[in-house]
Structure 1
Amino acid sequence: MVDVDLTAAYWLGLAISVGLPVLVGLVTTRVTHAGVKAVLLLGLTAANGFLVELAAAGDDYDVQTAVVAWLVSFGMGVLAHFGLWKPTGVATAAQDVGTRRAPRGA
């Protein structure tokens, strides 16, 4: 039997993974190529995965666990984007932050 012990760092990493697509939306524009957004999300989830392992590892840092955390983080980010943020309109709202709009009636 496999014993799985997820520390608070792993749970926090999963929670961060859900919010990373919104962060990507905040720092990119609507005209940014989808591939650029995907690579940005991949990089952010890599940082998340390796930092989660660093926080949870204690004395024995395991690169394989960090890579698995990275892949899980990326999967969670993609699923959160297409399953939660895009259908609810949050993804579009994040892309609109910081854009100038003409005043009404102008």
Structure 2
Amino acid sequence: MSFAFTLDPLVVVQFVISFVLPVLVGLVTTRVTSGRWKAVLLAALTLVTSLLVELARTIGSGEVYDLGVALFSALPAFVVAVAGHFGLWKPTGVAETAQTVLITAEEG
């Protein structure tokens, strides 16, 4: 019996992007933007990321683009993004700071 432990580099990239997406949403939204719209934007960006990661996999391997894999991988990526937001970015104040960065840059 043998075992292997491999990580697809594209899955790792998608995980990292999903973890950082809430901060990016904070950068492009303001404090007055409702949580509902931020969640919609986060879901949309997660979906686009999943579609692009599957496109990169298809280009790299020369296989057929699998829309099912791309759409299904958006769900765990969204969960990672939400968990990252509420587990790290919001409690440490990074989410709030990200929302004030562009406002401060425009004023100063």
TM-score with structure 2 setting the length: 0.84
**Bigger CA drift: 51-60 or 26-35?**
51-60
**What is the CA distance between 1:73 and its match in structure 2?**
1.1
Secondary structure at 2:79's aligned position in 1? Answer: helix
Q: How far, CA to CA, are the matches of 1:38 and 1:20 in structure 2?
A: 11
| Cα distance change, pair 84–7 in 1 and its aligned pair in 2 (3 A) | same
Please state if 1:62 is matched with 2:66. Answer: yes
Q: Give 5+ residue unaligned stretches, structure 1.
A: none
Q: Give 5+ residue unaligned stretches, structure 2.
A: none
Q: How far, CA to CA, are the matches of 1:71 and 1:52 in structure 2?
A: 14
Q: Determine if contact 1:10/1:56 at 8 Å carries over to the other structure.
A: no
| Identity rate, percent | 48
**Bigger CA drift: 88-97 or 51-60?**
51-60
Q: How far, CA to CA, are the matches of 1:72 and 1:35 in structure 2?
A: 19
| Cα distance change, pair 4–47 in 1 and its aligned pair in 2 (3 A) | farther
Matched positions, count: 101
* Corresponding residue of 1:28: 29
Q: How far, CA to CA, are the matches of 1:9 and 1:79 in structure 2?
A: 20
- 1:44-55 equivalences in 2 (<5 Å): 44-55=45-56
**Bigger CA drift: 31-40 or 53-62?**
53-62
TM-score with structure 1 setting the length: 0.85
Q: Determine if contact 1:7/1:56 at 8 Å carries over to the other structure.
A: no
Q: Determine if contact 1:21/1:80 at 8 Å carries over to the other structure.
A: yes
Secondary structure at 2:103's aligned position in 1? Answer: coil
Structure 1 letter corresponding to 2:25: V
Q: How far, CA to CA, are the matches of 2:20 and 2:28 in structure 1?
A: 13
